[in-house]
Structure 1
Amino acid sequence: MASYLAQQWLLESRHRAVYPTNDATAVFISYLPPLLEGAWVTAQLAIYSTLLGALLSFTLGIGRVSEKAWLRLPSIAVIELFRGTSLLVQLFWIYFALPLLGEFVGLDLRLDPMLAGTTALALNIGAYGAEVVRGALQSVSKEQHEAARALNFTERQKLWRICLPQALPEMMPSFGNLAIQNLKDTALVSLISLGDLAFRAEQIRNFTQDSTTVYTLLLFMYFGMALMLAALMKLLARHVGRWRHS
């Protein structure tokens, strides 16, 4: 259905190229359907990758501060790998190189663009988020740890009953920034032909050569999505902050 709508719009854009209009409003409105279609793909990509990235952040961050070397060392390796390499290279490796590696070992590791993009973004935000989790957990005072030992808490009980409830509110501002950065990073998936907002905008620009209008719309659409995400993260941070005072 999405490809059909895109083809219909491209046919109409050719018609407009032959019979141009000076009505700026009509031009503006004509660009909206494919851009909104792309914005929906971008929103899905941002949501999926942010949620998966948050899960990875806690997994890697908790592993990073573990006293057990078999948990700590692999966590450090994954964090440093994805923090120390380009997101674009990670995306290309997952989409282009991983299937070739799979063929070499006899496995089908081909991923569709949405899954490849979600995976790359989640791994990247997960690595950066893990450092946020680590810092917040280590900010819990020594007295709290001593109290947990005095109460004979296990490491798991100390984590869930003492450390995380105090650390989570401290993580929220940084997680909000990471979520917004992740939204902006989704534009990179257009390079593997996923029909997101940036990809649709480039399609329109290629057919119309109207760079100013297209990129201005693109700018404001990303800005609007970022504002909505920032507002959502503030509400979530306010809700989580109540835990500390309850």
Structure 2
Amino acid sequence: MKIGIVGGTGGMGEGFALRWCAKHDVIVGSREAQKAKEAAANYMAAAKQAYPSMAGSIAGDDNISLAKDCDVLILSIPYEFIDDTCGKLAGNTRSDCIVVSPIVPMTRNDNGFAYIPLEDKGKKPAAELVAERMAPRSRVVSAFHTISEVKLKNTALSLDADTFICGDDAAVVARLSELVSEISGLRPVYLGPLALTYQAEVLTPMLLNAARRNKMKNPGVKLTT
């Protein structure tokens, strides 16, 4: 499988690349191709130390070019970049490419971290905006909102956490769930259709507020029964 990570030179992008390159070909992206290639070379060096044998690889390219032949596209970008980035990507992705939004519309005020659509009724959940700009909606899923990038980058560590997935197409959700399950200790939990993505996205500011006030490092979410 070929996995593209738009904005892949950040911490989450590095973590995804290191976790999935053992089995898949990963392309990390940046607005500047050279920056992406340099990051990919560093990630690949770390991956070779982490895995005695690899079936996959890590390469780098600019954000738009990498999307042209991907099976899965992770949008590791800020909320405010959705319009511009997705507008450029829309005509450069295959119609069957799964588009994943881990994006959280979040700000910080005097009370702590806040979810923007609750503060500003004119704003929409991130995955809803992505779906509007990268039709068909059925290929868009949201996930990974409560994953620590510090833990994700440490390939020797089991995450021991859940991630909530929202999506409208059962087959798309199933394919992403398989990828999620390849990350050690990470369990996919289906939350419901994409219309419920706000319930997953709002967990990020909640976790950050709890962590800051209770001096917790890199917390996650795990459901128990």
TM-score strictly above 0.5: no
Per residue, is there more helix in 1 or in 2?
1
Structure with the bigger RCO (C-alpha within 8 Å, sep 6+) is 1
Band of TM-score, shorter chain = under 0.3
Larger Rg: 1
